[in-house]
Structure formats: C-alpha cells, structure tokens
Amino acid sequence: MSHSRKTVAVVGAGTMGSGIATVMARAGHTTILFDIDEAGLRRGVDTVHGFFDNSVRKGKLSAGQASAAKAALKGTTSLADLASSEVVVEAVFENLDLKKEIFGQLDEIVSESALFHTNTSTLSVTGIASGSRIPGRVVGTHYCNPAPLMKLVEVADGRHTADWAHRATLEFLGSLGKTGVVTKDRPGFIVNRFLIPWENSCIRALEAGLGTKEAIDSAVPGALGHPMGPFRLLDIVGMDIHQQVATRLYEQLRDPRFFPPPMVERMVAAGDLGRKTGRGFYEYGDTRLFGS
Amino acid sequence: MNTSSVPDLATIGLLGFGTMGAGIAQVMAASGRRVVVLETDRARLDEGFALVGASLDAGVTRGRLSENARTSALARITGTTEIRDLAGVEAVLESVTENGELKKALLTRVAALVGEKIPILTNTSALSVTDLAAGLPNPARVAGLHFFNPAPAMRTVEIVRALHTGEDLVDRLFALVETLDGKDAVLVKDRPGFLVNALLMPYLNDVVQEYDDGLASAEDLDAALRLGLGYKSGPLEMLDMIGLDVHLHATEAAYRATLDPRYAPPPLLRRMVAAGMLGAKNGQGFRTGEEGGR
Ligand SMILES: NC(=O)c1ccc[n+]([C@@H]2O[C@H](COP(=O)([O-])OP(=O)(O)OC[C@H]3O[C@@H](n4cnc5c(N)ncnc54)[C@H](O)[C@@H]3O)[C@@H](O)[C@H]2O)c1
Ligand SMILES: NC(=O)c1ccc[n+]([C@@H]2O[C@H](COP(=O)([O-])OP(=O)(O)OC[C@H]3O[C@@H](n4cnc5c(N)ncnc54)[C@H](O)[C@@H]3O)[C@@H](O)[C@H]2O)c1
C-alpha cells in the first residue's frame, strides 16, 4: 500500500486515544499524542510502546519495524505542539462541551486544511463540529476497542461536513488498513445502534428466566455464528460502559429498547463491572483484558 | 462416537426431507441411528438424498469425514412415501413445511400408526409445540427438538418443553443430543421463537427498518456488524439465507402471539416478499441482487 506519510495528532491518551495512536504510528504516520494529564499521557505512550513490544514477541513486527513505529510517536501536554498536524483525531472524555472546546482551540493552531476527526460514541458529530469555525472539516470516525486489532471504523458526516473532508477521511482510513463504513450522524451509528438493544434484550431474557447465563451464552453463538455469547461480551465491555452508552442512547432516542434493564444498575452498584473488576456475570482470576 | 453399541432412539422416523430434514437426517445417521424419511413424492425424496449427499461430500473434501463414514451414513437413511413404513420407529421427528394444519393432520395419522409411547418431536420454528401436542394422544411424549440451519454445522439444538412434556422425555432428549457430533442442547420454554429466535427476530426487524430509513447501505450495515462484533454473517445476508418469506412468516406469528411491536414485520420486508424477493433461494434479496454480491 503506498500512501503519503502524514502528521497526525491524537487528542486524549486514554483507552481509545492510545489505541488510535498505535494504529497511526504503525501505519508510518508521524504521530503526536496529546493529553492534558501528564500521568495519563505517560500511561498512553507506555501502552503504545507495550503494544509494539508485544507485536515483536508475537512475531507480527520485526524489531526494526517496532522501533520505527515507536520513533514515529511523540507525546506532549502542550497543544501548541500540534501545529503541523494534517489530521487530528479527538478521543477525550465523552463530553460535548469539552470536545467542542478542543476543536475551537485547534482552529487557532493547525492549518485550515487539517481534518478533524471525532471518535465520539454517542454524541452528535454535528454538535461537536459546531465547536469549530470550519465545521466542514469535521467527520465522525468511530473506532472499535481495541483499535489496533479491529478493522472497522464507522464514518459519519455531520450536517455541515464538506465533501472533500468525507472523501479524504475514507482515503486516510484506507491508508491505515481500516475498513471505513459510511453511516449517518445518528445515535449509536451502526454497531451500538444494534448492539445495545441486543444486549439489553439478552439481559431481559436472563431476568425473565428464559435460560441461565451459561445456556444463553452457549445457545446464541452456537446458533447464530457469534464469536461469544452476550454476557461474555458484556463482561469484556464492562457493565458501567454498557450502562453509560445505553443511557445516553436512550436519552436521545426515547426508545425503551435502549434503556438498561434493572440488572445492569444492580451489577454496577455491586461493583460487578466485568473482567476489569474480576467479576461481572462470571468470575475472573485475571483482570487483564487484551494481551496486546 | 460408538457406532457398535445401539443408541437410544435408534431408529428415527423423519417427516420431511427439505432443507432442515436433509440436515437432520445427516446428523442422526452420522450418530449411528437409522433414519426412515417420509416425503410426499419420489422427486422430493431424491432431492433430499441429493442434499445429504452433497453435504457429506463436502465433509469428505474438507477432510472432516472419511469416505467410509460417508457411505455408511447414507446407507442408514431410507426414504418412503408411505406412512406405514414408519411402523417400528423409536421416535418421530417432524420437519415438514411450516403449516400448523398440515403438521397436525400428518402427526395425527403418524401417531395412530406408532402408538402412544413413541416420542413425537417437532422441529417447528414458529408454531406452539404445546398446541401441536394437544391434539395427539399422550402429549407428555411430545417436545420440540429445534435445529438451526444448516443443521450439520450449527452447534445449538433447542429442546422445547411444552406444557405437558414429560421430564423423562426431556432427559432422553438431552442424552440424544449428547450423542450428536458437536451439538449442545439448551432447554427452552415453549414461547414464540423459543430462546434464540425470540432474540434474533426483533434484531433482524430493527436492521431492516433502519436500512429502509437510510442508516447505511446493505453492504455497509453487514460489514459494520460483521467486523465490529465478529459475527459470521451480517444481518441482511443472514436474512437472505433464512429466506425473506420464512422470516416474515415467523415474525408475523410471533407478533400475533405476543402483540409485541418488536416482532411486527417492517413494511419493507412485507413489500419485498410481495414483490417476490425471497433472498438467496431466488437470487433476489438484500444482498443477493448486489453487483459482485455474495
Ligand atoms: N472505550 C471504548 O470502548 C470506546 C470505543 C469507541 C469510542 N469511544 C469514545 O472514545 C472517546 C474516549 O474514550 P476512552 O474510553 O478512551 O476514554 P478514557 O477515559 O480512557 O480517555 C480519555 C482521555 O482523554 C483525556 N482528556 C480529557 N480531557 C482532555 C483535554 N481537554 N485535552 C486532552 N486530553 C484530555 C483524559 O486525560 C484521558 O486520558 C470517548 O468519546 C468515547 O465515547 C470509546
Ligand atoms: N429453514 C430453516 O432455517 C429452519 C430452521 C429451523 C427449523 N425450521 C423448521 O423446519 C421445518 C421444515 O423447514 P424447511 O426449511 O426444511 O422446509 P422445506 O420446505 O425445505 O422442507 C419441507 C419438506 O416437507 C415436505 N412435506 C410437506 N408435507 C409433507 C407431508 N405431508 N409428508 C411428508 N413430507 C411433507 C415437503 O415436500 C418439503 O420437502 C419447518 O417447521 C421449519 O419451521 C426451519
């Protein structure tokens, strides 16, 4: 695949930001990872480096490729360092005002032709774009967790997204080896739009005693070709995250299928969030999520 | 699997040799059971044997089955168009066309032949097992044994306990499924859609509605759900596979039985079926008509 090397900034070095920065650096783009929080930034950079080290151990990257990828990554806590970015991917907390403010600040720093991507899961791309003086350059690019391993990126234009930005985004995602799927600026895009009611209906089936969690987790993949059952998946996603996403979608759609069933609130209250706390629907000895 | 010992329910009287009947015949024969299949005419029997043969051949080609196992499995299946040839079977498994009146009439005649003790099982997807059982003598020996398509490949088998199904029969069915290669049984209630389809149908309806509402192209909807969630197939290609008419019929039945709007068929589904677009079987569906489509 031949493509030009770009300078890409990733704003927010959390779970998604560090994963997205990994994707950018691995594809050969000069990657600037920014976070306001010094400790958060350090964790993010360590996560990216750790991923590349693991890839070498697994034989997926040569030592040379890994050190080139690491060299392509720079961490910073100063927004001014993002000046030369051609693409900015925003992955800060899921907060509309914060995301708008960041794009507004970036307007003053980067060139007018830079693309702004937002990784929001549940907010409106149009709303976030309104934070920029040039809403035409803002595109929703929703990566999946873990970003380095998942090929899918959902692409959603806001009401004012320009054609050039849409086309450049798809081309850029192609250069990353991602599959960009075009959808609309609607709550949940495609995957969460269908996953949330699906998981909720499985939880309701469990609450109604239609089967045990083990039975449902066996029957569903064995009949439908899913890689795992709904409760195993919820334990990976985290009940708190499921609750947040479901509630946010419900607030926008007012469709009861999106509202988290009572069991979700109970599990969150009990601290049974899934693998990350050692217990969700199932018990886990090991709270690590992904090897690399 | 031990083919030298005689399994429980060693001879299955199978009614219907269509898509599901052929798959089930193969699965039962592979477990060492004898299968006597009843069909309406010779041509349907020939088609059923052709389906089983092709599926077994694919197993041999992929190295999952020996030539020997293929031949002996086929040899254990015999076809007939005469109900009386079912005399002596140890269980009846019904997988004829999804039509309540047809199934009831046929099962009444078969029950009269085999007597009151022989288990009668139905592979129905959308009808109530309790309702089918109610018209037969000794409904305690009636249960659902619901396979998924393609039966040889899909691991899950739902054991449907109707209101009168005896506990001993449930136990026997769990033991039966244990002897089927790679299958796992799950006990489910006799509710519309049982367990898996009760969850699946609202999801498929929801996708069709959003597709009609322009959320994304059919190809992109499928790609997002396949890549994002690791599903083997996307919802629209799955609908093409199931058959749009088959899904419409099932979700309509669930809607009638529950009045739950999640089962209400989306208008586009109804229109496509009315237009003769049935999915993969006639090459016209959500994905099958596509340029370079799968
Ligand atoms: N976690 C997922 O599975 C997932 C999947 C897809 C999309 N998303 C979306 O991605 C975004 C980030 O989610 P996450 O799970 O990575 O969150 P996270 O909490 O792990 O990371 C957020 C990071 O943003 C940083 N941050 C906060 N304010 C900032 C600012 N003003 N400037 C720079 N950095 C700032 C925080 O310090 C933190 O490191 C959210 O919009 C979320 O909805 C999450
Ligand atoms: N196709 C699926 O995905 C699927 C999955 C699970 C269960 N089922 C259920 O399995 C059953 C069969 O479905 P199918 O998809 O195999 O249908 P099909 O149309 O492929 O086959 C039905 C067969 O029944 C035969 N038949 C009709 N009346 C008969 C009679 N009086 N005696 C003997 N044979 C008769 C027909 O000739 C036909 O060959 C239905 O109850 C259906 O709901 C289907």
Convert the pLDDT of each residue in A142-168 to its tens digit.
999 999 999 999 999 999 999 999 999
Across the interface, do A190 and B221 touch by the CB < 8 Å criterion? Answer: yes
Question: Percentages helix, strand, coil for chain B, rounded to the nearest 5?
Answer: 50, 15, 35
**A274 DSSP assignment:** B
Give the domain CATH number at A142: 3.40.50.720
Provide the token pair at A290: 């992904």
Q: Which residue of A has its CA nearest to B161?
A: A210
Mean pLDDT of B191-208: 97
A187/A239 Cα distance (integer angstroms): 19
pLDDT score for A68? 97
Atom number of ligand 1 nearest to Cα A145: 3
pLDDT digit string, tens, across residues B162-193: 999 999 999 999 999 999 999 999 999 999 99
Going by pLDDT thresholds of 50, 70 and 90, the confidence category of residue B292 is very low
Residues, chain B, total? Answer: 294
**What percentage of chain B reaches a pLDDT higher than 90?**
95
Pair (A39, A101) in one structural domain: yes
B290/B269 Cα distance (integer angstroms): 17
Pair (A123, A239) in one structural domain: no
pLDDT digit string, tens, across residues A9-30: 999 999 999 999 999 999 999 9
The closest of B173, B204, B203 to B188, measured between CA atoms, is B173
Instruction: Let me know if the fold of B11-189 is the same as that of B197-274.
Output: no
Going by pLDDT thresholds of 50, 70 and 90, the confidence category of residue B197 is very high
B278/B241 Cα distance (integer angstroms): 9
Looking at the domain assignment, is residue A282 inside a domain? no
Across the interface, do A190 and B196 touch by the CB < 8 Å criterion? Answer: no
pLDDT digit string, tens, across residues A104-125: 999 999 999 999 999 999 999 9
Looking at the domain assignment, is residue A262 inside a domain? yes
A48/A45 Cα distance (integer angstroms): 5
DSSP alpha helix (H) spans, chain A: 15-26, 38-57, 63-72, 96-107, 125-129, 163-175, 191-207, 213-224, 230-237, 239-253, 262-269
Looking at the domain assignment, is residue A160 inside a domain? yes
- Cα end-to-end distance, chain A, whole Å: 24
Q: Is the pLDDT of residue A257 over 50?
A: yes
> For the domain with range B11-189, which CATH number is right: 3.40.50.720, 3.90.1150.10, 2.60.40.10, 3.40.1170.60?
3.40.50.720
From A23, A81, A92, A99, give the residue whose CB has the most ligand 1 atoms within 8 Å, as the site to mutate.
Answer: A92
Give the domain CATH number at A271: 1.10.1040.10
- Provide the b/e sequence for A49-77 (b: ≥16 CB within 10 Å): bebbeebbeeeebeeeebeebeebbbbee
Pair (A157, A271) in one structural domain: no
pLDDT score for B96? 98
Going by pLDDT thresholds of 50, 70 and 90, the confidence category of residue B290 is low
A169/A151 Cα distance (integer angstroms): 15
Torsion, Cα B177 B183 B187 B189, to 10 degrees, reads -110
Going by pLDDT thresholds of 50, 70 and 90, the confidence category of residue A288 is low
B261 touches chain A (CB under 8 A): no
| Closest by Cβ to A198, choosing from B203, B216, B232 | B203
Judged by DSSP in three states, B264 sits in coil
pLDDT score for A4? 83
| Closest by Cβ to A211, choosing from B195, B227, B262 | B195
pLDDT digit string, tens, across residues A219-234: 999 999 999 999 999 9
With a 6 Å cutoff on the Cβ, whether A225 touches ligand 1 is no
Across the interface, do A226 and B229 touch by the CB < 8 Å criterion? Answer: yes
DSSP alpha helix (H) spans, chain B: 19-30, 42-61, 67-75, 100-114, 129-134, 167-178, 196-212, 218-229, 235-242, 244-258, 267-274
* Domain boundaries of chain B, sorted by first residue: 11-189, 197-274
B193 touches chain A (CB under 8 A): no
Across the interface, do A210 and B154 touch by the CB < 8 Å criterion? Answer: no
Looking at the domain assignment, is residue A156 inside a domain? yes
Q: Is the pLDDT of residue B199 over 70?
A: yes
**What percentage of chain A reaches a pLDDT higher than 70?**
97
Domain final residue pick, A183, A218, A242: A183
B101/B133 Cα distance (integer angstroms): 13
| Single-letter amino acid, residue A292 | S
Pair (A42, A118) in one structural domain: yes
Pair (A242, A100) in one structural domain: no
Pair (A230, A198) in one structural domain: yes
Looking at the domain assignment, is residue A225 inside a domain? yes
Pair (A149, A103) in one structural domain: yes
| Closest C-alpha to ligand 1, atom 18 | A14
**B64 DSSP assignment:** S
Neighboring chain B residues of A211 at a CB cutoff of 8 Å? 186-188, 195
A71 touches chain B (CB under 8 A): no
Active-site residue identified among A132, A192, A200, A242: A192
Q: Which residue has the tokens 């791309």?
A: A125
Judged by DSSP in three states, B215 sits in coil
Quote the number of domains for chain A.
2
Pair (A147, A45) in one structural domain: yes
With a 6 Å cutoff on the Cβ, whether A40 touches ligand 1 is yes
pTM above 0.90, yes or no: yes
Q: Is the separation of the CB atoms in B16 and B38 below 8 Å? A: yes
Going by pLDDT thresholds of 50, 70 and 90, the confidence category of residue B291 is low
Judged by DSSP in three states, A255 sits in coil
The closest of A169, A171, A163, A97 to A128, measured between CA atoms, is A97
Pair (A196, A59) in one structural domain: no
Atom number of ligand 1 nearest to Cα A101: 31
| Closest C-alpha to ligand 2, atom 41 | B124
Pair (A61, A141) in one structural domain: yes
Provide the token pair at A123: 């907010």
Q: Which residue has the tokens 């389809």?
A: B197
Across the interface, do B196 and A223 touch by the CB < 8 Å criterion? Answer: yes
Looking at the domain assignment, is residue A290 inside a domain? no
Domain final residue pick, A163, A183, A203: A183
- Provide the b/e sequence for A239-275 (b: ≥16 CB within 10 Å): bbbbbbbbbbbbeebeeebbbbbeebeebbeeebbbb
Its ipTM equals 0.94
pLDDT score for B288? 86
- Provide the b/e sequence for B248-267 (b: ≥16 CB within 10 Å): bbbbbbbbeeeeeebbbbbe
Pair (A76, A164) in one structural domain: yes
B170 touches chain A (CB under 8 A): no
Across the interface, do A190 and B215 touch by the CB < 8 Å criterion? Answer: yes
Q: Is the pLDDT of residue A3 over 70?
A: no
Q: Is the separation of the CB atoms in B224 and A191 below 8 Å? A: yes
Provide the token pair at A37: 């929080």
Domain final residue pick, A162, A183, A204: A183
B229/B169 Cα distance (integer angstroms): 37
Going by pLDDT thresholds of 50, 70 and 90, the confidence category of residue A192 is very high
Domain B197-274: give its CATH code.
1.10.1040.50
* A232: containing domain: 192-277
B144 touches chain A (CB under 8 A): no
Pair (A107, A241) in one structural domain: no
DSSP secondary structure letters along A182-211: EE-SSTTTTHHHHHHHHHHHHHHHHHTTSS
With a 6 Å cutoff on the Cβ, whether A119 touches ligand 1 is yes
Chain A interface, best mutation among B148, B191, B195, by max A CB count within 10 A: B195
Residues 6+ apart with CB under 8 A from A285: A278
